[in-house]
Structure 1
Amino acid sequence: MLHLEPSAIADVIATGGVIAYPTEAVYGLGCDPDNLSAVQALLDVKQRPWEKGLILIASRFEQLLPYLDLSAVTEQQLNAAQAKWPGPFTFVIPAKAEVSPLLRGSFSTIAVRVSAHPGVRAMCDAIDKPLVSTSANLAGEEPALTLAEVETQFSGKIAAAVLGELGTARQPSTIIDIQTGHIFRQG
């Protein structure tokens, strides 16, 4: 498994590689959201059902716009979400119709976050788009908290691991429905 700096990961992502990387609280698995072969490979490696959907993380909100249908979101709802970004808050927002079910799952929405983690931001800036983000663990298992745990679970199954430190959050991000305010997961 390659170990790369966040700024050096662009080629791996561009060629469809699945990567592991530190986030605010746990290691994540990610790939290019527009490469559906890579998204399927990520789902296979994680053994995650596509119906659950995935999160997209970005360094800035504009990177998420190609995936979002903001026509049913009020300015007040959008401002409330943006007031929490960058940070450990994931918002469930209506997805554009053309967004693959591999990303949005069996829903008409997609979960998105603007990250405050410097490594995540560097990766998203290097590829100028969001990354798929899901915790680095087999479905139903505890998320990896160290590079050694990533290697134990995913050696030979992913293209690279990104070097860096976890953030200071103790729990994965809070997930909130932007339209209703319903909290799906408390971080």
Structure 2
Amino acid sequence: MNTFPFFKIRAYLKRGGVIAYPTESSYGLGCLANNRRGIRGILRIKKRPQHKGLIVIGGDFGQLQPYVFRLPEHEQNQIERAWHDDVPTTFLLRCRANVLPELRGRRRNQLAVRVPQHDLARRLCGAVGGALVSTSCNRAGKRACRSEREVRRQFGRAVWVVGGRTGGRKSPSQIVNWETRERVR
């Protein structure tokens, strides 16, 4: 992990760059969650419709708080405990009005957030100093890339690849609507 030039990655992300990095089940495509140019780059690269919204990850809950409404302490503690369980879980939380519509999805008032169980993804958020978009590294409708080689084959130089091993999970994180406790994926 120390061999990555994080100061260069951070500068690249601030300019709207898109990275590919390993997560629990596959590689993810990411950019700074508050960077409209990066988000639009991901949507263009993936050929993904804007109305769907994207997942945002942070190294800890604090990196996600600028995007979501404050929760009572006991609820925040429940979410943080769930992020340490065996099953990676993304929660839909009410988001702040200033969250970019391309990030939350058009006409949506919730944002999908997670602290990943994958150590490299979590540390990457800490190293770049902010929350990252985390969407599967694939073109819309295609299988997610599970290796650095697959990422390079599918996206070439369109993304900066942060190499590493995925967590080996077969499926992506489950998504739970926090208000209703309903599992939506």
- CA 1:51 to 1:6, structure 2 compared with 1: closer, same or farther past 3 Å? farther
Q: Secondary structure, in 3 states, of the residue corresponding to 2:45?
A: helix
Unaligned stretches of 5+ in structure 1? none
What is the rounded CA distance, in whole Å, between the counterparts of 2:10 and 2:36 in structure 1? 17
The aligned counterpart of 2:144 is 143
The aligned counterpart of 1:5 is 4
The aligned counterpart of 2:115 is 114
**Matched-pair contact (CA < 8 Å) for 2:148–2:164:** no
The aligned counterpart of 2:83 is 85
State whether structure 2 residue 53 is matched by structure 1 residue 53: yes
Name the structure where strand makes up a greater proportion of residues.
1
State whether structure 2 residue 99 is matched by structure 1 residue 96: no
Letter in 2 for 1:145: R
**Matched-pair contact (CA < 8 Å) for 1:124–1:130:** yes
Distance apart, 1:76 and its partner CA: 4.5
Q: Secondary structure, in 3 states, of the residue corresponding to 1:97?
A: coil
**Matched-pair contact (CA < 8 Å) for 2:33–2:132:** yes
Letter in 1 for 2:177: D
What is the rounded CA distance, in whole Å, between the counterparts of 1:5 and 1:138 in structure 2? 26
What is the rounded CA distance, in whole Å, between the counterparts of 2:19 and 2:42 in structure 1? 9
What is the rounded CA distance, in whole Å, between the counterparts of 2:165 and 2:6 in structure 1? 15
Which is further off, 103-112 or 10-19?
A: 10-19
**Matched-pair contact (CA < 8 Å) for 1:55–1:132:** yes
**Matched-pair contact (CA < 8 Å) for 1:57–1:114:** yes
The aligned counterpart of 1:41 is 41
Q: Secondary structure, in 3 states, of the residue corresponding to 1:29?
A: strand
Q: Secondary structure, in 3 states, of the residue corresponding to 1:66?
A: coil
What is the rounded CA distance, in whole Å, between the counterparts of 1:65 and 1:6 in structure 2? 27
Root-mean-square deviation (CA, aligned residues, Å) is 1.7
Letter in 2 for 1:133: S
What is the rounded CA distance, in whole Å, between the counterparts of 1:135 and 1:15 in structure 2? 21
What is the rounded CA distance, in whole Å, between the counterparts of 1:164 and 1:55 in structure 2? 21
Unaligned stretches of 5+ in structure 2? none
What TM-score, normalized to structure 1? 0.89
What is the rounded CA distance, in whole Å, between the counterparts of 2:58 and 2:152 in structure 1? 25
What is the rounded CA distance, in whole Å, between the counterparts of 2:75 and 2:69 in structure 1? 13
What is the rounded CA distance, in whole Å, between the counterparts of 2:144 and 2:58 in structure 1? 20
What is the rounded CA distance, in whole Å, between the counterparts of 2:76 and 2:180 in structure 1? 12
1:111-154 C-alpha deviation (Å, 9 max, x unpaired) = 00011211112211112211001000001111011111111111
Q: Secondary structure, in 3 states, of the residue corresponding to 1:123?
A: helix
What is the rounded CA distance, in whole Å, between the counterparts of 1:29 and 1:154 in structure 2? 10
